[in-house]
Structure 1
Amino acid sequence: MGRLGIHSFVWTGGATQEDLETALEKTAECGYRLIEFAYLRPEKFDLDRLAKKAQGLDVAIAVTMGLPLHADVSSEDPSAVKAGEEMLANAVKAVRDIGGTKLGGILYSAHTKYASVPTDRGRKNSIAAIAKTAEHAESAGIDIVLEVVNRFETNLLNTTAQALSFAEATGSDRVLLHLDTFHMNIEEANPAAAIRLAGDRIGYFHIGESNRGYLGDGVIDFDRIFDALLDVGYQRDITFESFSSAVVDEGLTLACAIWRDTWTENMPLARHAKRFIELKQEEARRRRETNARP
């Protein structure tokens, strides 16, 4: 089974090295085996020190990011595409240097609400940029996992079916899907069916509630989610993601519209999420065993 992780924004906005190291310590204290960081700029943080800290705590690292408009690889502007390709190449190096296993998030477009539909040329530019990024990832030994997000955060990959087509068009086995229950709840007609459709192309999975807060306090049917993950034999990492205005950086506040406190204390939230996910995994296994009996 893959590792159970937690997003660093549960712990901190991540403004300083000390913030990130404290997040690592709290992650380990709660029993999580992976932490997800937003893209860490090498000129701002000591990645080697952070990697050693993570290794000492036996906590793996995943990195996710979204591109800014000036580096949008789905743009028709060659300068924006080039800037995006450079940003992605640098991100791959940073993930490698920090000892990370994957680079995920909105890597194929800007992380924003678009004012127009994607163009065919823009989609082809994005596919080519991700294919190029996958080559860098191959040599760095990491996976590229494309997060499928809702219509308010990209105009390109909103559904699993779109992402599967896009990933296949890159021609790279290093390009996998990064599914998220929060986004699937908005865009997929049947999230469980979408998981089964993606199958072994799922490279990373986010567990988040419909209101971004405590798991079980929203409308997502997690029983069907975990049944589907079991059906496809998903063995890779699962990360809990929750955002509150109590702890969030300014960029994410704007991009994800985090306008209120969905919670105020992070430690009870984190402990509850770990118990909730492990319980749902166990319940899914028991349902499978019960249904298999003659």
Structure 2
Amino acid sequence: MAFIIEVVRRLDQVAAQHHIMMTYEACCHYELPWVQTADELLRIYNESGAKNLKLVLDSFHMNIAETDMLEPIRKIGNLLDSYHISDSGRGEIGTGHINFVAQYKTLQEVGFKGYVFLEIVIPECRPYKLPMNDRQITEFIRQNQYSKKMWEAISS
């Protein structure tokens, strides 16, 4: 963690020179061995002193790495740059157990104004493989369109 904090500190200096805002996302242990929770993101932010750093949370990763899926949103608060959405099995909204209504309300509670990204992964294409045929592409598009429609319904 000390190495990551020092790297972020150094990158922040370069980012400042080039007017770049950096982001750092917490990812579960299935993808990365470090920085899996909101607390770890906040540690990096605070200890690096980075002024050009915003933080990213992801519903799928929080479902695995956090014991409470709303508290990380509250902890990150105005440092939250973007929010990534997929259900607990990485599929479309409604295919798992994540409470997106509660997440939306908590995002509103902290005054979130950033981007929301859909990160839907169909079963045959676990996250490092793109859809490879027309059927997979059609299903990928369908799940994304459905999730977009559901998120818009929650947020209206």
In the superposition, the TM-score normalised over structure 2's length comes to 0.86
Structure 2 Cα separation of the partners of residues 139 and 275 of structure 1: 40
Note the aligned Cα RMSD (angstroms): 2.1
CA positional deviation for 1:247: 5.3
The structure with the largest alpha-carbon Rg is 1
- Is 2:95 the partner of 1:221? no
Structure 1 Cα separation of the partners of residues 28 and 125 of structure 2: 22
Given the superposition, is the C-alpha separation of residues 178 and 162 from structure 1 closer, same or farther in structure 2, using an over 3 Å criterion? same
* DSSP-derived class of the 2:8 partner: helix
- Is 2:147 the partner of 1:273? yes
Structure 1 unaligned residues grouped into runs of 5+ = 1-122, 283-294
CA positional deviation for 1:232: 0.3
Task: Choose which of 126, 145, 152 in structure 1 pairs with 2:4.
Answer: 126
Q: How many residues are aligned here?
A: 150
Task: Give the partner amino acid of 1:201.
Answer: L
- Is 2:119 the partner of 1:244? no
Structure 2 Cα separation of the partners of residues 239 and 128 of structure 1: 29
- Is 2:79 the partner of 1:201? yes
Structure 2 Cα separation of the partners of residues 127 and 182 of structure 1: 24
CA positional deviation for 1:267: 2.3
* DSSP-derived class of the 1:206 partner: strand
Task: Give the partner amino acid of 2:145.
Answer: R
* DSSP-derived class of the 2:70 partner: helix
2:30 corresponds in structure 1 to: 152
Task: Give the partner amino acid of 1:180.
Answer: D
CA positional deviation for 1:136: 2.2
Structure 1 Cα separation of the partners of residues 125 and 36 of structure 2: 27
Asked if the contact 2:37–2:65 (Cα under 8 Å) also holds between the matched residues in 1, the reply is yes
- Is 2:84 the partner of 1:210? no
* DSSP-derived class of the 2:33 partner: coil
Deviations 1:156-201 (A, max 9, x none): 2111012101111111121221100001011111111110111111
Structure 1 Cα separation of the partners of residues 111 and 8 of structure 2: 26
Structure 1 Cα separation of the partners of residues 151 and 16 of structure 2: 31
1:169 corresponds in structure 2 to: 47
Structure 2 Cα separation of the partners of residues 199 and 171 of structure 1: 17
Deviations 1:239-293 (A, max 9, x none): 00012365578xx25xxxx9xxxx83222222112111111112xxxxxxxxxxx
Structure 1 Cα separation of the partners of residues 6 and 91 of structure 2: 36
Structure 2 Cα separation of the partners of residues 163 and 242 of structure 1: 23
Matches within 5 A, 1:1-294: 123-244=1-122, 246=124, 252-253=128-129, 264=136, 265-282=139-156
Given the superposition, is the C-alpha separation of residues 245 and 185 from structure 1 closer, same or farther in structure 2, using an over 3 Å criterion? closer
Asked if the contact 2:8–2:50 (Cα under 8 Å) also holds between the matched residues in 1, the reply is no
